[in-house]
Structure 1
C-alpha cells in the first residue's frame, strides 16, 4: 500500500523496508556566517545587502550538502537564514514590534516581541529560502515553520482579547505562507509548536490553529508537528485528532521514559522519533542509535516511523552534529536490513486510521 510518505523514498533505496530519515531543522552555523552577520549589522563595515545575501546562500548550500553527504533522505538548509524561531517570523508579520532582549536560560536571550496592532500578512517569509535550497539539493526539502500558537504565546499580546484569538489570526497568516510554499513546490511542511509543551492544557487551541492551516492544502502535502520537551501524557491521546500526518517528538533526551504513553491507545499517526540527543555533544554510536530506533518499533511499525534527532541541533559543535546525522542514517539502514531479514521484532501491524 502506497503511503503519503513514500514520495520521499529514494528510487534507488537499498532495502525493502524504509525508515525515512530527516533533520528537525536548525543546524550549527559556520563561524564565518556569524562573522558575516556581525559585519552586515555594523554600519562602519563595507559589507552590504549583496554580500550578506551571498554569505547566506553559501551557508545554505554548504549545510544542505552536508545533510546530503550524511545520507539524510529529506534535508533542510539548517535554517541558515534565520536567527531565532519566534523573532525571525515576528519581524516579518505586520503588527509585531520588538522591545529588547529577554533572558531565556543561561546566557541565551531572544528579542521578545509585542503585538501592538492587528496582525497582517505582508511579504513571503520562507519562499526564497525554500526555492534556493531546493535548487541546490538533490533530495526532497522539508520546510520548518514556527506555528501560530507559539508565535502568540511567546510574545506580549497588547491587542487581542486573549492569546487564543491572536493564535487563530496568526494561523490564517501561516496558512497564506504555506500556500505560497506549496505553490513553489514544497511537499513536506513541519510546524514547530514548542510552546505547546509548556502549556499542554491549550491543546484544543493548537488543534483549531492546525485546522485553519491545513484545511485547503493539496492531498500530497505531508504535514508534521514538532513538539519538544514536556509531559506528552497531558496531550495524548487527544493529539491524535490533530490534522497532521506526523508528530515529531523529543524522547531520547528523557531516556524514553515517556514511551509507554504512546502504546495505549495505539499511535495512529506517523511518528518522528528522536534517536540522537540534540543537547549532548557526545556522538552516539551506530549500535546505540539502532537500539533507540528499535524502541520506536515498540510503538509503531516501520511504515509509520521517521528517524530524526530529538530537536534542532544548532547548539552542538558542527563536527558532532554531522557525525550524529551520519551515524543516524547508517543505523536506520542497518535496522531496515534487519527488518528485511525478519530478525527485528515489530510490536504490531499498522494501526487503522479509525
Structure 2
C-alpha cells in the first residue's frame, strides 16, 4: 500500500524548456561538456517545477529522451532509421512518428540509459521526495520497429527480443537504489480491444519479475498522446479481467480526457492494487482549478479508498506547454492536499 493517502505523482515526462529544444536542433554548435550542462540544467528546471507544484513523487522529466521511445532506440543495436515509412504531411497523427527497420538481431550492450538518468536525478533532487524512474515496456518499445520478416516475423517476436533488455534495465535501476519504477505500456491498453490480453499480462509479468518485491512497481496505461491526439480505443472494459493479474503495486489509468467514463471500473482494480487516477487532462489547455480537482477526487473516492488512491495527470506532460503544466500540477497538488486535510 502506498505511503500516504491521495498521493500526488506523475507518469514521467515533462515539457522541455524552449532553449533545450532549440539547442537540440543545433547540437553541432556544442561540445560534450556543453551538452551535459544543458541536460543538467533542464533536469533542474523539471525538478523545480515539480517540487514547486507540491508533488510527492517526482521524476527527471525525461529531459534526455526524444519522443518517449526513440531515445531508447539509440541504445539498441540492430536498428536503422526508416524515413520512407513515416508520413510527413497533413494533420499530425501517430504515423508521423519516426520508425526504424530491424537489420540484425537486437542487442543492448550498454543498457538503455535509464540508470544514468536516475543517478542524475538522485544527485540533483532535494531530500524528502520519492524519486521515480519510468521505462517503456517491451511491447510499447517495439511499436516503431519494423519486423524484417526473417529475424523477427511480427511485433510479438520483436517484443520477446526486447524483453531481456528491459528486464535487466529494471534490475539495474533497483541495484542503483531506485525504489519506485513505472513500466509504461500504453500500447497494451491501446490494443487490448483487439489483441490477446492474457498474452499481454504474461509479457508484462515476465518483464518485471526480477524487481517485484524489491521496488514499488507501477504501470502506466493510457490511450496514446501525440500532439494531443489519442490513438487507441479509449475504453477500460476490454482490459478486464485479465489486466487485474498484472503483478504491480500501482496501476495508472487515464480518466480526465475521457470525462471519467467507466469510473466505476476503478473499484475492480482497487481490489488488487493501488490506483493512480489521471485526473488532469494533458491533451487540452483548460487548466483545472483546485475545485475541479477536489470534485474529481471525491468521485474517485467512491470507488477507491483514500489509502489506495493516487492522483496524476492522464499521461506524461511532454507535449503540454510548460506554462500549462505548471498550472495543472499546482492545482492537482493543492486539491489533493486539501482533500487529505479534510479526511484527517
Fold in common (TM above 0.5): yes
Counterpart secondary structure, 1:111: coil
Residue 157 of structure 1: how far off its partner (Å): 1.0
Q: Check whether the contact 1:236–1:262 (CA below 8 A) recurs between aligned residues.
A: no
Aligned to 1:127: 115
**Residues 224 and 264 of structure 1, relative CA distance in 2, 3 Å threshold:** closer
Mark the CA change 1:103 to 1:225 in structure 2 (over 3 Å): closer, same or farther: farther
**Segment of structure 1 superposing worse, 284-293 or 207-216:** 207-216
Query: What residue is the counterpart of 2:282 in the other structure?
Result: 278
Residues 106 and 216 (structure 1 numbering): CA distance in 2 closer, same or farther, change over 3 Å? same
| CA distance, structure 2, for counterparts of residue 184 and residue 276 of structure 1 | 31
CA distance in 2: counterparts of 1:309 and 1:30, whole angstroms: 19
What's the offset of the Cα at 1:258? 1.7
Q: TM-score w.r.t. structure 1 length? A: 0.86
Q: Counterpart of 2:82 in 1: which secondary structure? A: strand
Which consecutive unaligned segments of at least 5 residues does structure 1 have? 10-17, 341-354
Q: Distance in 1 between the 2:13 and 2:335 partners? A: 22
Distance 2:275 2:180 in 1: 14
Mapping for residues 117-266 of structure 1, pairs under 5 Å: 117-124=104-111, 125-138=113-126, 139-158=129-148, 159-200=151-192, 201-217=195-211, 219-229=213-223, 230-263=234-267
What secondary structure sits across from 2:12 in the alignment? coil
Aligned to 1:346: none
Task: Give the distance between the partners of 1:264 and 1:89, measured in 2 at CA.
Answer: 34
Deviations along 1:126-169, one digit per CA (max 9) or x if unpaired, are 11111111111121211111110112233211121332222122
What SS does the aligned partner of 1:191 have? Answer: strand
Residues 56 and 106 (structure 1), Cα distance of their counterparts in 2 relative to 1, 3 Å cut: farther
Aligned residue for 1:69? 52
Matched pairs, number: 323
Match of 2:298 among 294, 299, 302: 294
In the superposition, relative to structure 1, how do residues 59 and 265 fare at CA in structure 2: closer, same or farther (>3 Å)?
closer
Consecutive unaligned residues of structure 2, counting only runs of 5 or more, are 224-233
Q: Which residue of 2 aligns with 1:96?
A: 79
Query: Alignment partner of 2:99: what SS?
Result: strand
